[in-house]
Structure 1
């Protein structure tokens, strides 16, 4: 029975295929024909195969394709990256979400977005109705190129591809550069959707511990020498979930090791605008030779208006354009790109970012103080951004706390969601912008007490 199930699961046998005859399969398996008859009868009773009088047995239905949650290690749903994402995205408005990865709606530049939408209403019919150009909105790409030049990264608009989101950017890069079974290095801990995407591409993930100044370079060197990875995916500026910042020394060592072992680096700079002062950027140091830069506007402008980008060397951009046409037929929505460009060009956007950085600084201080009252300690106090990566008192299990909090409509992000090695069970990531409601701390206190019992 297991042999037949295995053949169906592997697609060696599909719907309508005839099974081996009883005598030939008995000989193959080294059992008596009566044993095969019993196995076939049981499989028929399960509905997996069916008998045709005088003809034999046939596959009744092929096995359903594996779900994404079934690919890779079987995880407790409280620490499964897909499950935590779904909790955050599907939660009702009344549910508090300190485990989510975005700012509250009233923190966003909604007035600028409304002005941009009104301007969009006056756009020509092609913007409102046509597919977009394959590289995306030229004026927005020129704006990005000017911003990159300001930090020392020379990239022409033709080296920039607009995408539907930062997540789609990584998906396209994975389609281009890796195949099932290829090894990809990630930080440990790292953004949990990096793991979900790599699982979807059936990559083998290897984690490297992340320190206060970047990846542990001794371990990184060992990993790339041993596993020969195709990619290393990381955050620049403010690391997710730790909030740490890459140091210049680690940045240079990282690029040297990557060059020696032919590793391509994907640098996600989605949190860069939250920094008070710019930190080292791998793409700028490397000049887009083996570093690919990605980003989007979901954290600073709007998660509803989907627009991301990839900056890479010209040959890769050409291949990525083909992949985007094949999978999405064209680039980012012209309407979305128009709104993003108008909002970014609005003189209020810079002031919006300055105000958000100040507001986040206060929220980090206030939240850290309230968490300390519960004996929850930040691993570090970040230079910017909205995350605090915290250790729990007495090594209490974050997944247990998250489950208890969810019964009181509080969505948390336990540490092992972010850890490939599953070694962060006593850590929790908190989004300080989502913790203004003091009820959050009351629920958290009860969940901590429940986890101690």
Structure 2
């Protein structure tokens, strides 16, 4: 009897999980009792009892001669209920929350940003002092729909330096890089569309795309960019609407896109209805600029986005979208609908920081400092049997393989108990094929305790 009750509970929990994940929407007809019984290996009576109990709770409704249907309303969106299901120690949202919520005593080699004292604090203070003396409009008024005109001009000039021809009217300011992608998804996607991402890729791409209820397909990433043959196969098999990537310093691998791969990707995009979103957030970390898809494409099928949280200040929420003019027009309407006027104060601060005479020197020092910490971290990791997938030319990330047979999620859970936040590989992998990888932020790995805790976790 106890076993039967457990099986009934299993059926009920499975149905409720699919309702929570919006796989079963109101009005959806559930698999027949017999079909569900065969699929789960349970008896017909067990499944029927589970369905009847859910009907008694008002979750389902039974229609004579037709079956059981989901009642309304639509379940509140819970991103953690949307497949694939991951242990919370490796869930992208959980990694982010651990990194954001913990106090200063917790070490964060798994987070994706620089330590506070590595950012452009001096420039920010100068910008704040200057802005305090500005006129009333800068301090109190809404921004224009496209955003701060002078900052857009500066961004257009910066993009021109990378070979991207974008007029200021083709640049739309956003509240952040994440907000930029969210607007693009609202503009181009419908629930059920397919989006390609790199495997591995920045884990918050996964979380954001879940919120848009799309199918996500990962394409293996190589040291030169995505595997073009696998990319072409995915385009043919899934007819994706978007591909989201980093073209500069790739997150989490640190790889750089090659010109050959860039041209082959664009040829595939031209033969399909594929739009490419190129996240250029790490552009200022580069020593030698990598090819930009937006430069080769001329902002025809490629949309470039970026922000300044990695180099100026994570507290300053300001990003941008560069795209063809007709798309910017529609994206501007979406921006007004979702944020109304946007942040005039933040844009003014970014402008003053970027045009400050000290920003170039700040970035030179930062690149040298990151290079130094990269070379310090490598032997420390290798002493633990942890090997880099590649040694990046620039940036803050090392994508590393753990010793054979080691599970990164288990290591992360153990380290978390000792006050160290790690970033396990499967948080970045749509295919969950990176279970023995960790991403290290070398700027957040300067404390020897990181490696002491890691050594204990590996030997546990």
**Fold equivalence (TM over 0.5):** yes
Per-residue CA distance 1:158-205 (angstroms, 9 max, x = gap): 100000000000000000001111000000000000111111101101
Matched, 1:133 2:148: no
Q: Which residue of 1 is the match for residue 65 of structure 2? A: none
| Alpha-carbon distance, 1:151 to partner | 2.2
Q: Which residue of 2 is the match for residue 446 of structure 1? A: 456
| Alpha-carbon distance, 1:281 to partner | 0.5
Distance 1:364 1:165 in 2: 27
| Alpha-carbon distance, 1:123 to partner | 1.6
Unaligned runs of 5+ in 1: 14-37, 50-58
| Alpha-carbon distance, 1:10 to partner | 3.1
Aligned to 1:67, which of 69, 72, 78? 78
Per-residue CA distance 1:332-382 (angstroms, 9 max, x = gap): x11111111001011100000000000000100000111011010111110
Q: Which residue of 1 is the match for residue 160 of structure 2? A: 149
Q: Which residue of 2 is the match for residue 376 of structure 1? A: 386
- Residue correspondences, number: 416
Change (3 A) 1:444 1:127: same
Aligned to 1:246, which of 257, 279, 288? 257
Supply the RMSD in Å over aligned alpha carbons: 2.3
Distance 1:84 1:129 in 2: 36
Distance 1:303 1:184 in 2: 27
| Alpha-carbon distance, 1:262 to partner | 2.2
Distance 2:285 2:390 in 1: 16
Change (3 A) 1:11 1:112: same
Task: Name the SS of the counterpart of 1:78 in structure 2.
Answer: coil
Matched, 1:11 2:26: yes
Per-residue CA distance 1:295-324 (angstroms, 9 max, x = gap): 000001001010000000001101100111
Distance 1:412 1:99 in 2: 4
Q: Which residue of 1 is the match for residue 223 of structure 2? A: 212
Distance 1:438 1:247 in 2: 35
Task: Name the SS of the counterpart of 1:394 in structure 2.
Answer: coil
Task: Name the SS of the counterpart of 2:404 in structure 1.
Answer: helix
Aligned to 1:197, which of 208, 211, 235? 208
Distance 2:225 2:19 in 1: 46
Q: Which residue of 2 is the match for residue 362 of structure 1? A: 372
Q: Which residue of 1 is the match for residue 443 of structure 2? A: 433
Q: Which residue of 2 is the match for residue 418 of structure 1? A: 428
Distance 1:434 1:39 in 2: 50
1:97-176 equivalences in 2 (<5 Å): 97-176=108-187
Distance 2:215 2:55 in 1: 37
1:321-332 equivalences in 2 (<5 Å): 321-331=332-342
Change (3 A) 1:399 1:42: closer
Change (3 A) 1:190 1:64: same
Change (3 A) 1:7 1:112: closer
Distance 1:382 1:185 in 2: 24
Structure number with larger C-alpha Rg: 1
Change (3 A) 1:62 1:282: closer
Distance 1:40 1:217 in 2: 46
Q: Which residue of 1 is the match for residue 43 of structure 2? A: none
Q: Which residue of 2 is the match for residue 280 of structure 1? A: 291
Change (3 A) 1:159 1:44: closer
Distance 1:12 1:48 in 2: 11
Distance 2:361 2:298 in 1: 30
- The TM-score with structure 2 as length reference comes to 0.86
Change (3 A) 1:43 1:123: same
| Alpha-carbon distance, 1:42 to partner | 5.5
Q: Which residue of 1 is the match for residue 396 of structure 2? A: 386
- Contact 2:27 2:72 (8 Å CA) reproduced: no
Task: Name the SS of the counterpart of 1:120 in structure 2.
Answer: helix
Per-residue CA distance 1:79-104 (angstroms, 9 max, x = gap): 21111111111111110000000000
Distance 2:191 2:58 in 1: 32
Distance 2:125 2:107 in 1: 26
Per-residue CA distance 1:25-44 (angstroms, 9 max, x = gap): xxxxxxxxxxxxx9999669
1:255-274 equivalences in 2 (<5 Å): 255-274=266-285
| Alpha-carbon distance, 1:63 to partner | 6.7
Distance 1:99 1:207 in 2: 22
